[in-house]
């Protein structure tokens, strides 16, 4: 479980540091809104026709979240790799919470560090590398974590969200 950063939390010396966005912001044209809106309406009507009102509610809530998110600027969040763990914003994740890491580097679209947590409840942390050197980041993290070298492509959910401009 990540620890909230307070005065008494030891994080160790900073080895790498950069600022990431809270979420990836996409430029969406009117055609995107027309297609996604049409699909959303079809799903809402399908849910109502089959009596699955919870599905319809979830689709409506997702549409509201996407609309609100598209009208806001993402927050800038500091990220650090330290001697004792990783700091994301105001949360510290000790290395003991991570199972492994991997880097997917396929510029210009994908430059991402994935920190895989041990718990099934906690998600994999997805950190944009931006201008950070992926080889230096890998070399540093190898001292503390196991690198999953079998992962060569970004997860399907991330690829779909990027291609459909959802997150």
Query: Please, how many CA atoms are within 13 Å of residue 140, restricted to the half-sphere of its CB?
Result: 21
Look at residue 87 in the predicted model and tell me its pLDDT: 93
pLDDT above 70 (res 1): no
154 or 5: whose pLDDT is higher? 154
For residues 73-80, give the mean pLDDT: 92
**pLDDT tens sequence across 15-60:** 999 999 887 777 888 898 899 999 999 999 999 999 999 999 999 9
**7 phi, psi to nearest 5 deg:** -60, -35
Residue 9, pLDDT > 80, answer no
d(CA 76, CA 97): 24
Distance between CA 92 and CA 141 in Å, rounded?
16
pLDDT of residue 110: 87
140 to 14, 63, 84, 127, 135: CA distances (angstroms): 11, 40, 12, 15, 9
- What is the value of pTM for the model shown? 0.80
Q: How many other CB atoms are found less than 10 A from the CB of residue 93?
A: 21
Does residue 162 surpass a pLDDT of 90? no
The pLDDT of residue 61 is 97
């Amino acid at each position: 479980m990540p620890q909230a950063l307070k005065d008494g939390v030891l994080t160790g010396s900073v080895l790498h540091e950069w600022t990431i966005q809270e979420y990836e912001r996409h430029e969406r044209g009117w055609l995107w809104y027309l297609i996604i809106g049409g699909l959303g309406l079809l799903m809402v009507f399908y849910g109502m026709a089959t009596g699955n009102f919870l599905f319809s509610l979830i689709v409506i809530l997702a549409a509201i979240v996407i609309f609100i998110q598209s009208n806001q600027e993402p927050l800038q969040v500091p990220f650090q790799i330290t001697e004792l763990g990783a700091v994301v914003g105001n949360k510290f994740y000790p290395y003991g919470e991570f199972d492994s890491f991997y880097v997917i580097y396929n510029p210009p679209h994908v430059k991402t560090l994935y920190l895989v947590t041990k718990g099934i409840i906690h998600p994999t942390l997805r950190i944009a590398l931006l201008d950070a050197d992926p080889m230096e980041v890998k070399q540093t993290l190898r001292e503390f974590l196991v690198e999953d070298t079998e992962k060569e492509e970004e997860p399907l959910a991330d690829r779909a969200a990027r291609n459909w401009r959802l997150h």
